[in-house]
């Protein structure tokens, strides 16, 4: 991948990942407001806004982070299957995105309950978004830590590719004759 394209994809990946983290942090804040506010309208509004925010912010950022990460790994020396940390990060993001898609369905039910003026506040309040957002934040921070620290460890494929590259380098250095 040419350097300019690589930098662009890296910037896109960092931006979407940071955006995803920020959106999850916003969901934590919304959840805390929904759980602690004494104002009925505020509590109902929190659960009403979560559904569109999940579909129009969280889900697109998750897919953008996943796609830009795939492009980044396939276009750089790290590769997708050469290093365990890249595979673990991919697994984390795929599982987190899949779970997000499944969990986002529940926001519709919560919004429906919040929209019902006859539903009592105790029934509208729900700890699930808070717990899921905190867990998501921890999972995404684990992926960030893998990106920053890049723990050593080649996969069997990575070791084979490394050995092939070293063999090719030795052959080029040997004088023909």
Which two structure tokens, joined as six digits, stand for 106?
A: 């529940």
pLDDT at 152: 85
Which two structure tokens, joined as six digits, stand for 171?
A: 């052959």
In degrees rounded to 5, what are phi and psi of residue 12? -65, -40
pLDDT at 172: 80
pLDDT at 9: 94
For helices 84-115 and 59-74, the axis angle rounded to 10 degrees is: 170
Residue 14 in 3-state DSSP?
A: helix
In degrees rounded to 5, what are phi and psi of residue 152? -70, 160
Q: Each residue's pLDDT tens digit in the chain (177 positions)?
A: 899 999 999 999 999 999 999 999 999 999 999 999 999 999 999 999 999 999 999 999 999 999 999 999 998 888 889 999 999 999 999 999 999 999 999 999 999 999 999 999 999 999 999 999 999 999 999 999 999 998 888 888 888 888 888 888 888 877 765
Residue 154 in 3-state DSSP?
A: strand
Q: What is the pTM for the complete model shown?
A: 0.88
Distance CA 24, CA 86 (A): 22
Cβ 116 vs Cβ 126: under 8 Å: no
pLDDT at 120: 92
Residue 83 in 3-state DSSP?
A: strand
């Amino acid at each position: 991948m040419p350097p300019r394209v690589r930098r662009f994809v890296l910037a896109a990946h960092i931006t979407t990942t940071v955006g995803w983290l920020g959106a999850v942090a916003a969901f934590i804040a919304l959840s805390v407001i929904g759980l602690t506010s004494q104002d009925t309208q505020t509590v109902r509004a929190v659960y009403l806004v979560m559904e569109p925010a999940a579909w129009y912010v969280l889900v697109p950022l998750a897919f953008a982070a996943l796609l830009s990460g795939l492009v980044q790994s396939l276009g750089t020396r790290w590769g997708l299957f050469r290093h365990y940390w890249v595979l673990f990060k991919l697994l984390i993001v795929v599982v987190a995105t899949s779970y997000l898609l499944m969990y986002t369905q529940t926001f519709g039910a919560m919004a429906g309950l919040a929209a019902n003026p006859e539903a009592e506040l105790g029934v509208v309040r729900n700890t699930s978004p808070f717990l899921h957002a905190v867990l998501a934040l921890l999972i995404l921070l684990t992926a960030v830590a893998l990106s920053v620290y890049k723990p050593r460890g080649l996969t069997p494929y990575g070791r084979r590719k490394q050995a092939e590259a070293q063999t090719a380098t030795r052959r080029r250095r040997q004088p023909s004759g």
